[in-house]
DNA sequence: TCAATCCGTATC
DNA sequence: ATACGGATTGAC
């Protein structure tokens, strides 16, 4: 019976991105279940693939070949993840095979074999209702078409979850009282407990123990007999979540998934998840695809961190993967962070997600006192000598904290930011008058050009203040340990940056110098934080410079004790800057709303959909010229890439002669753009001219 | 008239 | 990719 197997073959060629049917030999029939790895003969070659479903007959007219063999009876690709991978491939104009390579770790036969025994010993009984997953009729895709009702019921009240427990009741409903600090916090948790598909954007209060909050939310799902998935940017965050999960869940009921585990351990934990032995998974970006059973909740924290953007084709972002997943599996979604990204703001503004935020009183009670010391730094940033000095405010804040017996956090930007052009008088980033892209100097004694559309700007005129003068924003001189040591003799200096990242520092006086993202936790909180070289961060030639700066500032400031306990933050940038204002008021939602409005105005993502085509100049130009762009779309460029200062810290000498075009369409045409790009890729791969053209939707680096 | 070659197409 | 078929080309 059901002699046909529908297979997703491991070919990433765009024009072969569909399923193929094979016959199942009698001997393979029992093992050939949906989700197993198979080996098939495809166009003469033997290739890997996944069996997606068994069918009574094929709709293929030609003759079918037989499955070469079933690699293993282990079903590693659940129907839900298969559907998710398809949706992600479509969203990013990529192929299913590419996404599946991100979603399913390589097989490790020995682990698979030993794991079976373990599973027999203490695996939870296979849930009977796993079988009745809904048919693949969900069309999650983007914000407006998701079919889950966004409203959160106001119903509160005691839990009914005990009645729904399907596993032996060792998982207790956690105390989620701390969520009460947030408006709609309890409502959200109640919805998770009841398994309702609510969606929320959460701004953690300064000082919040966010791993604990995530763990509580996950345990709430688990107590109801369902699963949860938590995604964080890096291994350090994951360690914290791991520790927090240990407080609320038995060790056997969750795993963490990280990229650095090694093949055997990685596959072992993946199997624990796919076999339903664990209910909760926490991990870094690839974990967004983990086959957690009966999901009640997917969550991502700090979605502005660029580590959540996958660097391999088709470059999906974990937040988007989880959005698709929450729609496809009808589970709750939580997008959290201290700051709020423009993307998250769009979810709130469109009504797709609800804000889970504290009220002003709650924020005031939790936040440190934040002040700006811009002028001192404005001059200081220009001269290395002056840069070694702390502003009076920063000095006072640091001394106050040290006297109170607490450590001081000093955040310094990483080296290697590319210099951007800014207005010489008001310091706002210099923008192209044609497309609002950032201006850059392609070389000495040359005129500024737009990094997006390539138009030369001969007569700059600042749209904000009218100035005609440009300046390159200085890269902040990193204050050395010696310089700070001179300012505070006798105080221990601790550095956390690059290779040597410290997880935590003791609760005693110390100067802790850290780059963004590497800030150690202080046992009882920092007494003060000094956020140095604000202009270097704000002046970065990046679409997200403002948003990213606030994200980093808030991440550091959140580690400082509240103002009532003497906590102070001094930021080295001018008070009049909107980003500084947002930090002082601790207003992540307001900043995100302003950011989104600005991007709307300028035609930047996520207010519009963008895609980039990168490759040899001639090909890029030809591809962009022939591609049918959805109505209302624009082509920006092509711009030679090697003409421009390379962004970020990555050297990119290899792409000589390479160019890029940007395609910009209204958000309503995002899907058409994706399918047009897929068609383009398919046409190119048929004619073997593929390979040197890189297609990227929502490129993370827009400069 | 036949083979070498090119191009387009399918890959179950 | 790789394999195949049909059209095209070129030498006898």
Contact A434, A450 (CB under 8 A): yes
Nucleotide nearest to A685 (CA to C1'): C1
**Taking Cα atoms as reference points, which of A612, A667, A664, A656 lies closest to residue A638?**
A612
**Taking Cα atoms as reference points, which of A303, A321, A320 lies closest to residue A210?**
A303
Q: What is the pLDDT of residue A52?
A: 97
Q: What is the pLDDT of residues A227-272, one digit of tens each?
A: 999 999 999 999 999 999 999 999 999 999 998 899 999 999 999 9
Provide, in whole angstroms, the distance separating residue A37's CA from nucleotide C1's C1'.
21
- Cβ contact A65 with chain B strand, < 7 A: yes
Closest residue to B7 (CA, C1′): A687
Give the confidence band of A10 by pLDDT, cuts at 50, 70, 90: very high
Q: What is the pLDDT of residue A407?
A: 97
- Calculate ∠ Cα A254-A256-A259, nearest 5°: 160
Tokens 């200096």: give the residue. A493
Provide, in whole angstroms, the distance separating residue A582's CA from nucleotide B3's C1'.
78
Given a cut of 70, whether residue A671 has pLDDT beyond it is: yes
Could you give the percent of chain A with pLDDT greater than 90? 58
Alpha helices in A309-406 (DSSP H): 318-328, 342-349, 360-366, 374-380, 384-387, 392-403
Nucleotide nearest to A11 (CA to C1'): C1
Q: Poorest-confidence range of A95-104, A189-198, A344-353, A634-643?
A: A634-643
Given a cut of 70, whether residue A644 has pLDDT beyond it is: no
Give the confidence band of A189 by pLDDT, cuts at 50, 70, 90: very high
Provide, in whole angstroms, the distance separating residue A27's CA from nucleotide C3's C1'.
30
Pairing assessment for the beta strands A369-372 and A521-522 based on DSSP bridges: unpaired
Q: What is the pLDDT of residue A539?
A: 66
Beta strands in A462-551 (DSSP E): 470-472, 493-496, 504-505, 511-514, 521-522, 528-531
pTM given for the model: 0.85
Q: Poorest-confidence range of A327-336, A347-356, A484-493, A510-519?
A: A484-493
Given a cut of 90, whether residue A134 has pLDDT beyond it is: no
Give the confidence band of A481 by pLDDT, cuts at 50, 70, 90: low
Q: What is the pLDDT of residue A238?
A: 97
Bin A195: left if φ > 0, else alpha if -120 < ψ < 50, else beta. left
**Taking Cα atoms as reference points, which of A390, A356, A335, A701 lies closest to residue A548?**
A701
pLDDT, average across residues A177-194: 93
- Calculate ∠ Cα A571-A574-A578, nearest 5°: 95
- Cβ contact A16 with chain C strand, < 7 A: yes
The residue among A427 and A436 whose pLDDT is bigger is A436
Give the confidence band of A132 by pLDDT, cuts at 50, 70, 90: very low
DSSP codes of every residue in A85-127: HHHHHHHTT--HHHHHHHHSPPP-HHHHHHHHHHHHHHPPPPP
Q: What is the pLDDT of residue A126?
A: 36
Given a cut of 90, whether residue A659 has pLDDT beyond it is: no
Q: Which of residues 658-697 of A touch strand B (CB under 7 A)?
A: 686-687
Provide, in whole angstroms, the distance separating residue A621's CA from nucleotide B9's C1'.
27
Q: What is the pLDDT of residue A541?
A: 65
Q: Poorest-confidence range of A174-183, A276-285, A557-566, A652-661?
A: A652-661
Closest residue to C4 (CA, C1′): A43
Q: What is the mean pLDDT of chain A?
A: 84
Please count the other Cβ atoms lying within 10 Å of the Cβ belonging to residue A107: 17
Q: Which nucleotides of B are covered by protein (CB under 7 A)?
A: 8-12
Given a cut of 70, whether residue A694 has pLDDT beyond it is: yes
Nucleotide nearest to A16 (CA to C1'): B11
- Cβ contact A50 with chain B strand, < 7 A: no
CA distance A90 to A99: 10
> What single DSSP character describes residue A156?
-
Q: What is the pLDDT of residue A489?
A: 85
Contact A355, A369 (CB under 8 A): no
Provide, in whole angstroms, the distance separating residue A41's CA from nucleotide B5's C1'.
28
The residue among A564 and A137 whose pLDDT is bigger is A564
Give the confidence band of A427 by pLDDT, cuts at 50, 70, 90: low
Contact A615, A658 (CB under 8 A): yes
Provide, in whole angstroms, the distance separating residue A683's CA from nucleotide B6's C1'.
20
pLDDT, average across residues A348-354: 96
- Cβ contact A64 with chain B strand, < 7 A: yes
Range A508-545 burial, b when 16+ CB lie within 10 A, else e: ebbbbbbbbbbbbebeebbbbbbbbbbbbbbbbbbbbb
Q: What is the pLDDT of residues A202-213, one digit of tens each?
A: 999 999 999 999
Beta strands in A532-681 (DSSP E): 568-571, 608-616, 634-640, 658-666
The sign of the CA dihedral A302, A303, A304, A307 is: positive
Q: Which of residues 650-679 of A touch strand C (CB under 7 A)?
A: none
Provide, in whole angstroms, the distance separating residue A48's CA from nucleotide C8's C1'.
38
Q: What is the pLDDT of residue A417?
A: 45
Provide, in whole angstroms, the distance separating residue A44's CA from nucleotide C6's C1'.
21
Give the confidence band of A703 by pLDDT, cuts at 50, 70, 90: low
Q: What is the pLDDT of residues A46-56, one digit of tens each?
A: 999 999 999 99
- Cβ contact A45 with chain C strand, < 7 A: yes
């Amino acid at each position: 019976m059901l002699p046909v197997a529908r297979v997703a073959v491991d070919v990433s060629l765009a024009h072969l991105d569909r399923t193929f049917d094979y016959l199942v030999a009698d001997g393979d029939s029992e093992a050939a279940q949906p989700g197993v790895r198979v080996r098939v003969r495809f166009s003469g070659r033997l290739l890997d693939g996944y069996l997606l479903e068994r069918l009574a007959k094929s709709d293929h007219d030609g003759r079918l070949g037989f499955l070469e063999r079933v690699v293993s009876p282990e079903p590693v690709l659940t129907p839900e993840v298969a559907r998710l991978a398809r949706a992600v491939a479509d969203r990013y104009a990529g192929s299913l095979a590419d996404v599946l390579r991100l979603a399913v770790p390589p097989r490790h036969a020995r682990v698979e074999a030993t794991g079976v025994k373990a599973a027999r010993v203490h695996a939870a009984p296979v849930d009977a209702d796993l079988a009745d997953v809904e048919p693949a009729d969900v069309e999650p895709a983007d914000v407006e078409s998701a079919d889950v009702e966004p409203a959160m019921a106001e119903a509160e009240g005691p839990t009914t979850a005990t009645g729904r427990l399907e596993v032996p009741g060792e998982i207790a409903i956690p105390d989620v009282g701390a969520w009460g600090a947030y408006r709609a916090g309890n409502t959200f948790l109640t919805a998770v407990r009841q398994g309702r598909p609510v969606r929320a954007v959460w701004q953690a209060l300064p000082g919040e123990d966010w791993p604990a909050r995530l763990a509580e939310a996950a345990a709430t799902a688990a107590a109801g007999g369902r699963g949860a998935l938590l995604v964080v940017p890096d291994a350090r965050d994951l360690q914290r979540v791991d520790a927090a999960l240990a407080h609320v869940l038995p060790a056997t009921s969750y795993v963490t998934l990280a990229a650095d585990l090694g093949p055997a351990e990685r596959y072992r934990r993946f199997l624990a998840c796919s076999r339903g032995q664990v209910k909760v998974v926490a991990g870094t970006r690839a974990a967004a695809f983990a086959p957690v059973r009966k999901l009640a909740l997917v969550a991502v924290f700090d979605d502005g961190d660029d580590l959540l953007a996958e660097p391999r084709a088709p470059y999906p972002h974990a937040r988007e993967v989880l959005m698709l997943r929450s729609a496809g599996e009808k589970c709750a979604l939580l997008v959290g962070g201290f700051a709020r990204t423009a993307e998250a703001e769009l979810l709130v503004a469109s009504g797709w997600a609800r804000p889970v935020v504290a009220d002003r009183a709650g924020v005031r009670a939790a936040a440190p006192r934040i002040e700006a010391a811009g002028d001192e730094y404005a001059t200081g940033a220009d001269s290395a000598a002056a840069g070694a000095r702390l502003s009076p405010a920063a000095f006072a804040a640091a001394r106050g904290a040290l006297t109170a017996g607490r450590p001081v956090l000093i955040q310094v930007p990483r080296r290697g930011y590319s210099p951007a052009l800014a207005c010489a008088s008001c310091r706002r980033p210099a923008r192209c008058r044609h497309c609002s892209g950032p201006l850059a100097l392609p070389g000495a004694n040359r005129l500024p050009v737009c990094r997006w559309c390539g138009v030369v700007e001969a007569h700059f005129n600042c749209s904000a203040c009218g100035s005609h003068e440009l300046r390159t924003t200085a890269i902040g001189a990193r204050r050395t340990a010696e310089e700070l040591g001179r300012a505070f003799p006798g105080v221990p200096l601790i550095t956390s940056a690059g290779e040597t990242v410290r997880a935590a520092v003791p609760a005693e006086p110390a100067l802790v110098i850290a780059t963004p993202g590497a800030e150690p936790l202080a046992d009882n909180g920092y007494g003060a934080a000094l956020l140095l070289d604000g202009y270097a961060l704000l002046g970065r030639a990046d679409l997200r410079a403002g948003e990213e700066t606030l994200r980093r500032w808030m991440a550091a400031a959140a580690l400082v004790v509240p103002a009532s306990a003497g906590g102070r933050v001094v930021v080295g940038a001018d008070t009049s800057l909107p980003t500084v204002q947002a930090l002082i008021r601790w207003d992540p939602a307001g900043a995100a709303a302003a950011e989104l409005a600005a991007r709307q105005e300028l035609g930047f993502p996520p207010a519009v959909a963008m895609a980039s085509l990168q490759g040899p100049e001639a090909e890029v130009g030809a591809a962009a010229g022939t591609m049918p762009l959805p109505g209302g779309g624009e082509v920006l460029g092509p711009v030679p890439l090697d003409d421009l200062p390379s962004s970020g810290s990555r050297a990119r000498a290899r792409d000589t002669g390479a160019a890029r075009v940007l395609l910009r369409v209204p958000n309503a045409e995002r899907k058409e753009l994706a399918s047009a790009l897929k068609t383009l890729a398919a046409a190119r791969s048929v004619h073997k001219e593929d390979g040197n053209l890189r297609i990227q939707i929502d490129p993370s680096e827009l400069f």
